[in-house]
Each structure stands twice: as C-alpha cells, then as structure tokens.
C-alpha cells in the first residue's frame, strides 16, 4: 500500500488537508486515526520478532509509555468518546475512536481530540526530560468508518499490526 518513491515523498510533503470537506468531525460514529512521529523516527517502541512460535513483542519506550497513558486518559478528558482499540508502533499510532451522542456541551471534533492528545503527550515527554522537540508530525490521517465490515477490518488490522511490522509501510521509514 505504501510506495517509498521520491515522487511519493514529495507528494506527502506538499499534501493538502485530508479532511473531508464540509463533514462534521464531531458527528457520532467511529473513526480510524493514524498519527506518525515527526520524521517517522522510531521513538515510541521497539518490536522484536519472535523465534519459532514465539510471538512478536512490542516494548514501549519512555515516550511510548507516556503516549499509552495519554491514550487511556482521552476517555476521561472527553466524556463523549471511547477508544475502542489502539496500537503504539515504533513510529506511529493507530486508534479506533468512537464519538457518542453529545450531551449539553458541544461534542469535540476528531481534530480537537487528536490535537489535545499530541499536545499533552509532547508536553509530558518534555516534562519527563525526554529530548525530542517535535514528537509528532503536524497532521494525522483519519478514516470515517462506514459500516460494521469496515470496523471489523480495521480492528483486525490494528490487532495484527505488531506481527506484520516488517512488512508495514512505516517500517524503516
């Protein structure tokens, strides 16, 4: 799916916003989110491939531990969302986020949620003495989940992402 050619890298460095025009990203539903580290540096974890029948192991770095805690805190910060599934990879994070019916106050948008997540995670990493100035890329990828099959496919993708790391398009980026 990922092509690492020079043309592809140039396209992504000059890309325009990927949000769906005129779509309300606070609409109740499920969203698949991918957040990459700045420069796709492998800062969040290290995956060791198991030998024989041993499974691959994903060991979170100090950055990854903070990132993990902040993902789990999102549901406390934004009461109208749930994090249904996620995986922290060496240089990116996949999240399956559901927004539920809003209460009296306005429902946050996906951009609000991801912006808060990236900002707080970066700030906490700096507070902990970690040196990376920019932890995440400025943007993120989103996919609006359209039906149960789409949801199930993304769930499976997240579930198997660690064991397929060496074939992942972000591997060795």
Tens digits of per-residue pLDDT, 128-141?
888 778 899 988 99
Residue 20 lies in a domain: no
Q: CA-CA distance, 68 to 88, in Å (whole number)?
A: 7
Note the pLDDT of residue 52.
65
Q: Note down the domain range covering 121.
A: 25-167
- 125 vs 5, residue with greater confidence: 125
Considering the entire predicted model, what is its pTM? 0.82
Percent of the chain past pLDDT 70, that is, above it, reads 77
Give CA 79 to chain center in angstroms.
19
Residue 4 lies in a domain: no
Tens digits of per-residue pLDDT, 61-102?
999 999 999 999 999 999 899 999 999 999 999 999 999 876
Note the pLDDT of residue 172.
64
Give CA 5 to chain center in angstroms.
23
Q: CA-CA distance, 17 to 131, in Å (whole number)?
A: 29
CATH code where residue 70 lies: 3.30.70.1290
What confidence tier does 1 reach under pLDDT thresholds 50, 70, 90?
Answer: very low
User: Torsion angle of alpha carbons 152, 91, 171, 86, nearest 10°?
Assistant: -10
Residue 83 lies in a domain: yes
Statement: residue 11 has pLDDT above 50:
no
Is the CB of residue 52 less than 8 Å from the CB of residue 114? no
Is the CB of residue 106 less than 8 Å from the CB of residue 27? no
Residue 18 lies in a domain: no
User: Torsion angle of alpha carbons 93, 138, 81, 25, nearest 10°?
Assistant: -120
Kindly report the average pLDDT of the chain as a whole number: 83
Residue 122 lies in a domain: yes
Residue 172 lies in a domain: no
Q: CA-CA distance, 25 to 64, in Å (whole number)?
A: 27
Domain count, the chain: 1
């Amino acid at each position: 799916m990922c092509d690492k050619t020079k043309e592809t890298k140039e396209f992504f460095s000059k890309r325009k916003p990927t949000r769906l025009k005129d779509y309300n990203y606070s609409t109740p539903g499920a969203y698949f989110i991918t957040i990459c580290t700045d420069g796709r540096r492998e800062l969040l974890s290290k995956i060791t491939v198991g030998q024989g029948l041993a499974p691959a192991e994903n060991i979170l770095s100090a950055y990854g531990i903070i990132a993990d805690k902040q993902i789990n805190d999102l549901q406390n910060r934004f009461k109208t969302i749930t994090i249904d599934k996620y995986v922290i990879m060496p240089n990116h994070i996949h999240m399956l986020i559901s927004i539920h019916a809003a209460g009296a106050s306005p429902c946050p948008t996906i951009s609000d949620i991801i912006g808060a997540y990236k900002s707080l995670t970066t700030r906490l990493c700096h507070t902990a003495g970690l040196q990376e100035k920019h932890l995440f890329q400025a943007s993120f990828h989103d996919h609006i989940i359209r039906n149960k099959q789409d949801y199930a496919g993304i769930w499976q993708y997240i579930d198997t992402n660690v064991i397929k790391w060496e074939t992942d398009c972000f591997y060795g980026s």
